[in-house]
A and B are shown apart, each in its own frame.
Chain A
Amino acid sequence: MSSAPNHSDPSSDHEPLLDVRGLRVSYQSSRGPVEAVGGVDLRVGRGEFVGVVGESGCGKSTLLFAVAQLLSPPAAITDGSVEFKGQNLVRLTEKQLNALRWRDYSVVMQSAMNALNPVTTIAAQFKDAILAHDRRSAEQIRARSVEVLQLVGIDPVHLGSYPHQLSGGMRQRAMIAMALLFTPDLVIMDEPTSALDVVAQRSLMVQIKELQQLLGFAVVFVTHDMSLVSHFSDRLLVMYAGQVVEAGPTRQVFDAPAHPYSRGLLDAFPSIHGPRVPLTGIPGSPPDLAEPPPGCRFAPRCPVVEEACHRVAPALYPVGGVLSRCLLDAPDRRTPATPVEATS
């Protein structure tokens, strides 16, 4: 469960930019502690694009907040480390963190409508962000603000605009521009496209990818929409009930998903191509994290569940280039004769 071996991890040859090990986060509730993130490992290399996908309540946003050290009570990190550029962020003081925030890593929040201040102009908000972390002259601030807006394809005249004067897509792009003010090494994104319609969504994803390739920053991209990151991320983590259930290169996870949950999630998307086939989704709902099931957390909804799954909690097992938290993929359980199940 904790610190998994380094196999099948393309970034493991180099010193990773971000190295999260055995991270656990609990919320204090009236019913006792609820562990929203239960021992997650996440390694991100320089310039890498890592997608974290899962449904609501799977702990993906809590994970992101924990990595960025933005948790507030009743949530708290109970175990594990977040190594970023050689420093364990969990141990740093607020003051030390402030020296890193925006400059070395930045966060793009889900809803730009709420994240931008509605009563000040874009220019004023950019200025605030810059001055909070550096001393710059008014001209320097102006020049940098123009520069980042142009990077995301917004006309610099909008520096004088208020957030409500921009479209949803432009607001999200302005948020991304703001996150790039100091050209950080890591940009953490929490569903930045979820409020947009498909066309704007696709255009923003393409733009993020282009910027990433241009500027070389790494991205941790959290989303509930697995298909959204399919063309953009290098590696994918699939989370379920606070745990990583599958991790591997994106293409591999999509082409041959190992974990039954990943398979179910992929099969829940109706396609606009090919024949119309009846789909079922995944029956049931995720477990109550205050009382997680004793064995595999997906067992109550799993189509290929076995008796042992209700007793034995699976670890992450390497299988066909990915890691899978499924007992059927455990080395002692795997039967080589079983053909790879085709899913599409």
Chain B
Amino acid sequence: MTEGLTHQEASRPAAPLPIPPLLETVELTRHFKVGAGLSRRMLHAVDGVNLVINRQEIVALVGESGSGKSTVARLLAQVHRPTSGEIRYQGRSLAALRGRRAQLAYRSDVPMVFQDPFSSLNPAYPVAHGILRGLKLHRPELGRAERQAEAERVVEAVGLSPATEILARYPHELSGGQRQRIGFAQALAYRPKLILADEPVSMLDVSIRIGLLNVMAELREREGVSFLYITHDIASARYVSDRLLVMYGGHVVESGPTEDVLAGPKHPYTQLLLSAVPDPRAPLEVDAAAAKSEPPVVIDPGPGCRFRERCPFAVERCFAETPLLRELGPAHTAACHVAVADEVPTAAV
């Protein structure tokens, strides 16, 4: 249960490797049309996101609802096509994937686990159905008996036993936590390299969430899978992730090794986010900034920082020029004009 916590040191970026990262995005952008005719406008869901996920790494993507984090997951899962920018998987652009076979191979390498375990399993079939069908599609080389054995293996790998009995059950006979484990087992059956987990625990009870996060950490250790863990819960992101990306209004505003970001958040939004996390062990700090919690303008946004209206440190430049990610610490970047390297921004600027 503890492997997830010990891995971090080993995965600190060393010298640049000649092999490309498992997955990377280059200026990934997705806009959606809203309205029609003269009132047609553009919603900038994701703007210029550069993201790297290495092998056997858990990367957390944190942000509020509407920040674009789920759109990133859907772009990576090829549910949406990028408006511009590129997704490279093992060094090759996804736009270059040709034919059903290549598509299928990518999908089995990079499956997705959904938020709602109550609607993502087919209620009409026992849980074996979905896993076996996935195996038949993605691993046609397996025979019937091998598929059954593999289904049992993945069910056990996510901490459910006895496997044969679980496989014979219908989704309604399982608890929410067990269903979400089946969601991970289904993804695992494809022998994935990277699992996209979009808020996988947010619908579960508090006492059960940790068990699922531990499953992610174990699958990374034992099966060598990477995860993109998408969440609004920065405390759970801290619990499992090696690196953290914070999104706000479609932009990545901060990224870095999880502990470094939490210990010294550079971007004012990250600071606000951290101060808002309810922590019964910490005293209450009420800040005025938290009261102004209106969402950013992402429909036809002009230039400038999208957090500026809520930012206690905003200066003139923030209204005119969109800040780019700058390195402010080792592997630690933030998109803020005001942030100071290895020091929190101060109101005195």
Say whether, besides A282-B207, A283-B211, A272 and B65 are in contact (CB < 8 Å): no
**A278 at the binding interface (Cβ < 8 Å):** yes
**B139 at the binding interface (Cβ < 8 Å):** no
> Which residue of the partner chain, among A56, A202, A278, A279, contacts B278 with CB atoms under 8 Å?
A202
* List of A residues within 8 angstroms of B142 by Cβ: none
* Complex alpha-carbon distance, A176 and B206, angstroms: 26
A142 to chain B, nearest CB (A): 25
Docked-complex contact A272 and B234, CB < 8 angstroms = yes
Interface set, chain A 195-247, CB cutoff 8 A to B: 196-203, 206-207, 224-228, 230-231
* List of B residues within 8 angstroms of A227 by Cβ: 278-280
Say whether, besides A198-B273, A270-B238, A285-B208, A167 and B294 are in contact (CB < 8 Å): yes
Say whether, besides A224-B206, A228-B278, A199 and B2 are in contact (CB < 8 Å): no
* Complex alpha-carbon distance, A207 and B292, angstroms: 11
**B77 at the binding interface (Cβ < 8 Å):** no
* List of B residues within 8 angstroms of A269 by Cβ: 206, 235, 280
Instruction: List the one stretch of A91-99, A115-123, A260-268, A303-311 in contact with chain B.
Output: A260-268
* Complex alpha-carbon distance, A202 and B232, angstroms: 14
A152 to chain B, nearest CB (A): 11
* Complex alpha-carbon distance, A168 and B290, angstroms: 15
Docked-complex contact B279 and A273, CB < 8 angstroms = yes
- Interface residues of A: mostly helix, strand, loop or mixed? loop
Docked-complex contact B236 and A276, CB < 8 angstroms = no
**A254 at the binding interface (Cβ < 8 Å):** yes
Docked-complex contact A202 and B281, CB < 8 angstroms = no
A157 to chain B, nearest CB (A): 14
Residue interface bits B1-37, CB-to-A below 8 A is 1, else 0: 1101100000000000000000000000000000000
Interface set, chain B 235-284, CB cutoff 8 A to A: 235-236, 238-239, 259, 262, 272-274, 276-282, 284
* Complex alpha-carbon distance, A200 and B281, angstroms: 21
Q: Which residue of B lies closest to A277 (CB)?
A: B5
Residue interface bits A118-146, CB-to-B below 8 A is 1, else 0: 00000000000000000000000000000
Docked-complex contact B206 and A285, CB < 8 angstroms = no
Docked-complex contact A285 and B175, CB < 8 angstroms = yes
> Which residue of the partner chain, among B210, B281, B284, contacts A271 with CB atoms under 8 Å?
B281
A249 to chain B, nearest CB (A): 13
A190 to chain B, nearest CB (A): 16
Docked-complex contact B210 and A281, CB < 8 angstroms = yes
Say whether, besides A268-B210, A344-B281, A202 and B1 are in contact (CB < 8 Å): no
**A29 at the binding interface (Cβ < 8 Å):** no
Say whether, besides A55-B205, A281-B209, A201 and B276 are in contact (CB < 8 Å): yes
Docked-complex contact B177 and A285, CB < 8 angstroms = yes
Residue interface bits B167-207, CB-to-A below 8 A is 1, else 0: 00000000111100000000000000000000000000111
Q: Which residue of A lies closest to B294 (CB)?
A: A167
Interface set, chain B 44-99, CB cutoff 8 A to A: 64-65
Docked-complex contact B236 and A270, CB < 8 angstroms = yes
**A169 at the binding interface (Cβ < 8 Å):** yes
Docked-complex contact A230 and B209, CB < 8 angstroms = no
The interface size of chain A toward B, counting residues with CB under 8 Å, comes to 44
* Complex alpha-carbon distance, A149 and B263, angstroms: 39
B202 to chain A, nearest CB (A): 10
* Complex alpha-carbon distance, A194 and B142, angstroms: 44
Residue interface bits B124-145, CB-to-A below 8 A is 1, else 0: 0000000000000000000000
Q: Which of A56, A281, A282 has the most CB of B within 10 A?
A: A281
A141 to chain B, nearest CB (A): 27
**A153 at the binding interface (Cβ < 8 Å):** yes
**B38 at the binding interface (Cβ < 8 Å):** no
Interface set, chain A 307-333, CB cutoff 8 A to B: none
**A338 at the binding interface (Cβ < 8 Å):** no
Q: Which residue of B lies closest to A283 (CB)?
A: B211
* List of B residues within 8 angstroms of A55 by Cβ: 205-207
Interface set, chain B 215-232, CB cutoff 8 A to A: 232
**A280 at the binding interface (Cβ < 8 Å):** yes
> Which residue of the partner chain, among A196, A254, A281, contacts B280 with CB atoms under 8 Å?
A254
* List of B residues within 8 angstroms of A196 by Cβ: 65
Q: Which residue of A lies closest to B217 (CB)?
A: A278
B299 to chain A, nearest CB (A): 13
* List of A residues within 8 angstroms of B175 by Cβ: 285
Docked-complex contact A272 and B278, CB < 8 angstroms = no
A324 to chain B, nearest CB (A): 18
**B295 at the binding interface (Cβ < 8 Å):** yes
B308 to chain A, nearest CB (A): 16
Docked-complex contact A226 and B280, CB < 8 angstroms = yes
* List of A residues within 8 angstroms of B211 by Cβ: 280-281, 283
Q: Which residue of A lies closest to B280 (CB)?
A: A230
Q: Which of A230, A266, A269 has the most CB of B within 10 A?
A: A269
**B119 at the binding interface (Cβ < 8 Å):** no
* List of B residues within 8 angstroms of A270 by Cβ: 210, 213, 235-236, 238-239
Docked-complex contact A265 and B235, CB < 8 angstroms = no
> Which residue of the partner chain, among B4, B206, B284, contacts A231 with CB atoms under 8 Å?
B284
> Which residue of the partner chain, among B65, B214, B274, contacts A168 with CB atoms under 8 Å?
B65
**B291 at the binding interface (Cβ < 8 Å):** yes
A290 to chain B, nearest CB (A): 14
**B286 at the binding interface (Cβ < 8 Å):** yes
List residues of chain A with CB under 8 Å of any chain B CB: 55-56, 153, 167-169, 196-203, 206-207, 224-228, 230-231, 254, 264-266, 268-274, 276-283, 285, 344
A-B contact pairs, 29 of them (CB 8 A): A55-B206, A169-B293, A169-B294, A198-B64, A199-B272, A199-B273, A199-B276, A200-B64, A202-B278, A203-B290, A206-B291, A226-B206, A231-B280, A264-B207, A268-B207, A268-B209, A269-B206, A269-B280, A271-B279, A271-B281, A274-B281, A276-B5, A276-B239, A277-B5, A281-B206, A281-B208, A281-B209, A281-B211, A285-B208
List residues of chain B with CB under 8 Å of any chain A CB: 1-2, 4-5, 64-65, 175-178, 205-211, 213-214, 232-236, 238-239, 259, 262, 272-274, 276-282, 284, 286, 290-295
List 7 additional A-B contacts (Cβ < 8 Å) besides A198-B64, A273-B279, A285-B175: A197-B232, A201-B278, A202-B290, A231-B278, A270-B238, A271-B279, A272-B234
